[in-house]
Amino acid sequence: MSDCTHDCSTCSSNCASRDRKSLIKPLRDGASVRRAVAVMSGKGGVGKSLVSALLAVRAQARGYRTALLDADITGPSIPKMFGVSARAYGNEGEIYPVRSKSGLQMISMNCLLEREEDPVVWRGMLIAGAAVQFWTDVCWEDVDLMFLDMPPGTGDVPLSVFQSIPLSGIVVVATPQDLVSMIVKKAVNMANLMKVPLLGLVENMSYFVCPDCGKKFELFGKSHAEKLSEEYGFPAFARLPVNPVYARLADSGEIERADTDPLAEMFAQIERSREIGKFLEE
Report CA Rg, the chain. 18
Q: What's the pLDDT score for residue 282?
A: 44
- How many whole angstroms separate alpha carbon 199 and alpha carbon 206? 19
Q: Which of 19-23, 81-85, 129-133, 252-256 has the lowest mean pLDDT?
A: 19-23
Q: What is the 3-state secondary structure (H, E, C) of 53-98?
A: HHHHHHHHHCCCCEEEEECCCCCCCHHHHCCCCCCCECCCCCEECE
Q: Which residue has the higher pLDDT, 114 or 215?
A: 215
pTM over 0.95: no
Instruction: Name the pairing type of β-strands 208-209 and 216-217.
Output: antiparallel
- Domain limits of the chain? 24-275
pLDDT for 64-106, tens place per residue?
999 999 999 998 999 999 999 989 988 777 899 999 999 999 9
Backbone angle region of 43, left / alpha / beta, with phi > 0 → left and psi within -120 to 50 → alpha: beta
Confidence of residue 29 (pLDDT cuts 50, 70, 90): very high
- How many whole angstroms separate alpha carbon 200 and alpha carbon 34? 19
Q: How many residues does the chain have?
A: 282
Q: Residue range 158-186: average pLDDT?
A: 88
pLDDT for 221-279, tens place per residue?
889 888 888 888 899 999 999 999 999 999 999 999 999 999 999 999 999 876 654 44
Q: What's the pLDDT score for residue 92?
A: 74
Instruction: Name the pairing type of β-strands 105-107 and 98-99.
Output: antiparallel
Q: What's the pLDDT score for residue 146?
A: 97
Q: What's the pLDDT score for residue 256?
A: 98
CATH topology of domain 24-275: Rossmann fold (3.40.50)
Burial code (b: 16+ CB inside 10 Å, e: under 16) for 54-67 equals bbbbbbbeeebbbb
Q: What's the pLDDT score for residue 98?
A: 96
Farthest-apart Cα atoms in the chain, separation: 63
pLDDT for 181-234, tens place per residue?
787 788 889 999 999 999 999 999 999 999 889 899 998 888 988 888 888 889
pLDDT for 20 beyond 80: no
